[in-house]
Homo-oligomer: A and B are copies of this chain.
Amino acid sequence: MSVFTPVSEAQLAVWLANYSVGDLTALEPIAAGIENTNYFVTTTQGRYVLTLFERLPASELPFYLNLMAHLARHGIPSPAPIADLSDGYLAQLNGRPAALVTRLDGRSVERPGPAECAELGALLARMHLAGRSYAGYLENPRGSKWWRVAARAVRPFLDAERQALLDEELRFQALYRFPDLPRGPIHADLFRDNALFEDGRISGVIDFYFAGVDCWLLDCAVCANDWCLIDAETDRRLEQAKTLALLRGYHAVRSLTALERGAWPVLLRAAALRFWLSRLYDYHLPRAGVLVHAHDPEHLRDILALRAGGAPAPWID
């Protein structure tokens, strides 16, 4: 995260007086990310992440924070928002909506193998089942409606080949809506850097600020396109062993259905499209103040082209 809204130790110490987390001992900006301002916060009581929300609609924030609280209450290792003395998760800090959440231990894994993919699958399924009793509702903010808006914005920057890929994929996806697939809150952005591992187990799932209600299987598709590649740099086809480990880990906790089998190749393409579009958007229409480099959109274009290319997607049988 780039820091869009600086926070001083003195400002934070005053702000924390409205919480029950003890006294501030350290404050450290987090450089990764492009959506919000994030700091690591350490107090006499624990370790936290402070987020100042820079451009998420204020109306969506309770969905994210309450979802994280709900999942944490169920034992899912998601960050737990800390309530302030007014019992709220959201407060104002330096003119921004801000929240304090627990900081989870562990490190992300750059080159996951089948074992990590199996862990991820099981965690996804547990998260989906735990989310069934969540009362909040927010349609996936990066769903098909958003695709069309984003596509219009980035299309002028594309060459003819890429325009054709985009147009064809939007046309293809419009043929499918999957109203019968099991749905609920999904993370929708569970790339490798949003999962923390410790001793081979997932110790944290972070960054729920793209979560929304959509097909559960879309979460698996987003993960497969990032976790299960043969090689992220040189061969972005799905590797059989990792993809099957992901799906089998999931299936052992929540049984995948015949309907989901049918939807799998389409959702792999949908997941690729969604991230190609956002990468294109961040690349061609960057916002002011972003210090980190936008991800190269070509990585996702390649994944989309491969998924749309007709090779059969691995599935459990």
Contact = CB atoms under 8 A, between A and B. Distances in A.
Contact of A126 (B20, B72, B77): B20
A294 interface: no
B77 A73 contact: no
A48 B75 CA distance: 10
A185 to B, nearest CB: 13
A56 interface: no
Contact of A20 (B19, B20, B130): B130
A49 interface: no
Contact of A83 (B46, B48, B73): B73
Interface in A63-113: 69-77, 80-87, 100
Given A73-B80, A80-B73, A201-B45, A85 B132 contact: yes
A107 B118 CA distance: 34
A186 interface: no
Contacts of A70: 83
Interface residue range, chain A: 20 to 34
Interface string A129-146: 110110000000000000
A131 to B, nearest CB: 9
A300 interface: no
Contacts of A130: 20, 83, 85
Given A22-B122, A44-B201, A82 B74 contact: yes
A73 B82 CA distance: 5
B46 A77 contact: yes
Interface of A: 19-22, 44-46, 48, 69-77, 80-87, 100, 122, 126-127, 129-130, 132-133, 201
21 contacts: A19-B74, A20-B74, A20-B126, A20-B127, A22-B75, A44-B122, A44-B201, A45-B77, A45-B126, A69-B73, A73-B80, A73-B81, A73-B83, A74-B83, A75-B82, A75-B100, A80-B80, A83-B130, A85-B130, A86-B133, A87-B133
